[in-house]
Structure formats: C-alpha cells, structure tokens
Structure 1
Amino acid sequence: MRLRQIEVFYAIMSTGSLRRAAEVLHVSQPAASKVLRYAEQSLGFALFERTGGRLVPTREARIMLPHVNTIFEKISDLKRLTENLRYARNGHAISIGCVPSLGLSIVPRVIQSYHAKHPGNELTIDTLHGPEIVSRLLNHDLDLGIVFGTYEQQGLTACHIADIPLVLIDKQRTEGPVALEDIDHARYIGLSENDPTARLLDMAWEDADHAAVPVVRVRTHYMAAELVRLGGGCAIVDGLTALHHPGLPVPLSLKPPLGMACTVLFRADHALSHISKDILALLQLEIKQDLASLPAV
C-alpha cells in the first residue's frame, strides 16, 4: 500500500465513514473513494463492506489496524522530531524534563531566573518520571532531563549535579538525627517501588536489619509530604521537597545520613547548547543555596 492509501484507510477506520474521512484529509469524497478502491485492488482483498450505506471494516482490515496505528505513531514521532530540530536549530529554544519533586521546588526558580535575563528564548518544561524522561531524550523530544538517581543508558550522558540529603518529616518528632529502626513503621508513608529513592531506602532498611512495609505508597515525594502535612503519618523525602513544601514539620536528618544523586541527562551525540550550559549553572547554584539553608537537625 502507498502512504496515501494507508492515510485514507486510517481516516476511515478512525472516523467511521468515507465522508468524514475525506473531510479530515481535506479531499473530496470521490477522490477518497478512488484511493480506497485502488488500495483494495492492489491488496487483492476488500477492506470494507458496503452495508446499508455504511462502510463496515472487514476481518482483514481489523487485523491490519494495529500495524497501521504503529505506522502513524512513527509518523507522529518523526513530525515531532523535525519540529524540534527546526525550532531548536538557532540555539534559542530548549525543552527540559524534570522529576516532579524538582518541578515543584527548585526548577521553577531556575527557569524564572534564566527567563528574567533572557526573555527572548523559548523554554518548555515538563514534569515526568525518570523512565519517561529517558525515553523522550532518546526521541529528541527533550534537550535536558533532571532526575534523581543515576541512569546508565546507552546514547545518554549523565552529569552529576549534587547529592540531595534524604530527611524524615514527622509531626511527632522534633529532634534528629533519626535511625531508620526508630521510625514508626505503622505510620510510615513509602514511595513507589520504582522510585530510585525507594530502592535506596529498601537497601538501607535491609542493612539495618529492619523491613519497613509502608502503610501507603505514593509515586512522588510531593504527595508523601502532603500526606504528612495532613497528619497521615511520617515519610522520608528529599531535602528540597521538605524545604519548599509549606506546612511541614522541621525536616530531620537520618542516622546514618542518606542522600540521593541529582543528575542531569542529555544526548551523548549532541553538544550542550549555550542555553543548556546556562541552565545547568543556575541549577547548581540554586541547589547549593537551598542545601545551605536546609536545617541541620
């Protein structure tokens, strides 16, 4: 099948009628019907049955549809890639993906600081989870990814920015540092098992010969902090979230101390643009200032 024939087939399957498919493709209905007829002739079987003035997909058409969907997903990816390449070619645009904890704490300040000095540059920011950031970087859909943890991924370069301390937030405690084995397991709010912080904590619990089974698991540090604020228990979160989430108790350090790497990811086959370098410098500065203001309790 030729691409135009696939387009007509896909449009009919999507809209349910030849008339609406022709409207979507901005062609006349006879022209769309002619393309469909040629497609069926080249394939040697019918794609639709004409029943009561309607086009009903044949068994063969339904079998083909998932493969056609894949083709159009690839076309959509290619379109997005060409747009990214076109708009970023002059070096005055950047797309950044960051994990939610940083997107709700430090990254907005970085972006605001940069934008105040360079108002003409285009910035696009998405809050995503680590695996999504990696996928979109590899697809040229992001220029920079800011994540917690370390990612060894072929095709990407990882730049260590800082080590962010993990802290306990608990309305029933006022003094630290706190050993893991002294945390109230019955009130412990944990992170999703896929979170790199959760994996680090699981290993720490094992080293302490204690197994903590959270009463609640959440996907983000922000949600864990909000549950603590509402009185739902205690949680271990990154220091930046604890610092910027309003209404929390004073964050308490852990004994022994635990920290999570903050890492910037970018494509290994691309040199960093001047915007990316400026953003990185601001990010390091803001994190350094925030960590200096984190209470050492």
Structure 2
Amino acid sequence: MRLRQIEVFYAIMTTGSLRAAAEVLHVSQPAASKVLRYAEQSLGFALFERTGGRLVPTREAQIMLPHVNTIFGTLSDLKRLTDNLRYARDGHSITIGCVPSLGLSLVPRVIQRYHAAHPGTELTVDTLHSTEIISRILNHDLDLGIVFGDYVYDGVSSHHIADVPLLLIDGESREGPVMLRQLDPVRYIGLSENDPTARLLDMAMEEAGLCAAPSVRVRTHYMAAELVRLGAGYAIVDALTVLHHPGLPKPQALTPPLHMACRVLFRADYALSHISQDILSLLRNELDVALAKLSH
C-alpha cells in the first residue's frame, strides 16, 4: 500500500465513514473512494464491506489496524522531531522534562531566573515520570531531563547535580533523627513501586527489619506530602518537596541518613548547548540554596 492509500484507510477506520474521511483529508468523496478502490485492488482483498450505505471493516482490515496505528505513531514522532529541529535552529530554545516533585519545587525557580536573564529564549517545560523523560530524550523531544535516581541507558548521559536528603514527615511529631525500625508500618504512605525513591526505601526498611506494606501508594512525593498534611499517616519524601509544600509537620531526619541523587539527563551523542549549560549552573545554585535552608 502507498502512503496515501494508508491515509485513506486510517481516516475511514477512525471516522467511520468515507464522507467524514474525505473531509478530514480535505479531498472530495469520489477521490477518497478511488484511492480506497485502488488500495483494495493492490492488496487483493476487501478492506470494507458495503452494508446499508455504510462501510464495515473486514477481518483483514481489523488485523491491519494496529500496524497502521504504529505507522502513524512514527509519522507523528517524525513531525515532532522536524518541528523541534526547525524551531531550535537558531539556538534560542530549550525543552526540559522533570519529575513532578521537581516541577513543583526546584525547576520553576530555575526557569524564572533564566527567563528573567534571557527573555528572548523559548522555554518549554513538561512534568513527566522518569521513564517518559528518557524515552523523549531518545526521541529528540527533550533537550534535558531532570530526575531523581540513577539511570543507565544506551544513548543517554547524565550529570550528577546533588544528593537530596529524604526526610520523614509525620503529624505525630517526634524528636529526630528517627530510625526506620521505630516507624509504625500501618501508618506508612508509600510511593509507587516504580519510583526510585520507593525502591531505595523498600530496601532500607527491609534491612531495618521493618515489614512495610503500605495500604496507600501514590505516584508523586507531593501527593504523599499532601496526604500527610491531611492526617492520613506519615511519608518519607525528598527535602525539596518538604521545603516547598506549605503546612507540613516539621520534617525529621532519618538515621542512618538516606539520599536520592538529582541528575540531569541528555542525549549522549550531542554536546550540551550554552543554554543547557546555563540551566545546569542555575540548577546547582538553586539546589545549594534550597539544601542550605535545611540546616537552619
């Protein structure tokens, strides 16, 4: 099948009629019908049955559809890539992805400072989970990804920015630092098992002999902190979330202390642009300022 024939087939499958498909493709209905007829002739089997004035997909068409979806997904990726290349050609744009907890704490401050100093630069920021960030970096959709944890992927490089402490927040206040084995597993609000912080905590709790199987798990540190604020239990989250989430109980340090690495990810085959380097410098500076507040 030629690409135009695939486009007509896909449009009919998604809109449900030849008339609607022609409108989507901005062609006449007879022209769309002609392309469909040629497609069926080249394939040697029918794609649609004509029933009561309607086009009903054949079994063969239903089998083909997932493969056609893949083709259009690839075409969509290609369009995003060409857009990125076109708009970034002058070197005055950057696209950043960050995990949600950093998107609600550190990254807005970095973006505000950079934008104030470079108002002509186009800045695009998405909050995504780490696996999405890595996928989009490899797909040329992101210039930089800011994450927690350690990641080793072919084609992706990383810069270590800082080690961010993990802190206990609990409405039932206690003097810190707190040992993990002192915690009540029943009240524990856990993080998603896919979160690198959750994996670190699960191992640390197991080593401390604490059998913690939280009845509530959430995907973001910010939501865990909000549940603590509402009195649902206690959580262990990154220090940046604690610093930027109002109304939380006084955070407590853990003993032994636990930290999560904050890293910036980027494509291994590209040198960092001057914009990326400036963003990295601001990230380090803002992290130093934020972490210094913990000692006061």
| TM-score in terms of structure 1 length | 0.97
Q: Which residue of 1 aligns with 2:270?
A: 270
Q: Which residue of 1 aligns with 2:228?
A: 228
| Local SS of the residue matching 1:142 | coil
1:158/1:265 contact within 8 Å kept = yes
Q: How many angstroms apart in 1 are the aligned matches of 2:236 and 2:35?
A: 61
Q: Give how far 1:172 is off.
A: 1.2
Q: How many angstroms apart in 1 are the aligned matches of 2:108 and 2:269?
A: 28
Q: Which residue of 2 aligns with 1:165?
A: 165
1:147/1:262 contact within 8 Å kept = yes
Is 2:53 the partner of 1:53?
yes
- Residues paired across the two proteins, number: 296
Q: Which residue of 1 aligns with 2:133?
A: 133
1:250/1:295 contact within 8 Å kept = no
Q: Which residue of 2 aligns with 1:117?
A: 117
Q: How many angstroms apart in 1 are the aligned matches of 2:64 and 2:194?
A: 35
- Give the AA of the match of 1:59: R
Q: Which residue of 2 aligns with 1:290?
A: 290
Q: Give how far 1:295 is off.
A: 4.4
Q: How many angstroms apart in 2 are the aligned matches of 1:166 and 1:285?
A: 20
Any stretches of 5+ residues in structure 2 without a counterpart? none
Q: How many angstroms apart in 2 are the aligned matches of 1:186 and 1:295?
A: 30
Q: How many angstroms apart in 2 are the aligned matches of 1:16 and 1:210?
A: 56
Q: Give how far 1:215 is off.
A: 3.1
1:174/1:250 contact within 8 Å kept = no
Is 2:207 the partner of 1:186?
no
**1:23-42 correspondence runs (5 A):** 23-42=23-42
Q: How many angstroms apart in 1 are the aligned matches of 2:187 and 2:220?
A: 17
Q: Which residue of 1 aligns with 2:101?
A: 101
Q: How many angstroms apart in 2 are the aligned matches of 1:215 and 1:60?
A: 46
- Give the AA of the match of 1:234: Y
Q: How many angstroms apart in 2 are the aligned matches of 1:262 and 1:227?
A: 24
- Which deviates more from structure 2 when the two are superposed, residues 106-115 or residues 179-188? 179-188
Q: How many angstroms apart in 1 are the aligned matches of 2:163 and 2:122?
A: 29
| Local SS of the residue matching 2:253 | strand
| TM-score in terms of structure 2 length | 0.98
Any stretches of 5+ residues in structure 1 without a counterpart? none
After TM superposition, what 4+ stretches of structure 1 lie above 2 angstroms from structure 2? none
Q: Which residue of 2 aligns with 1:213?
A: 213
- Give the AA of the match of 1:228: V
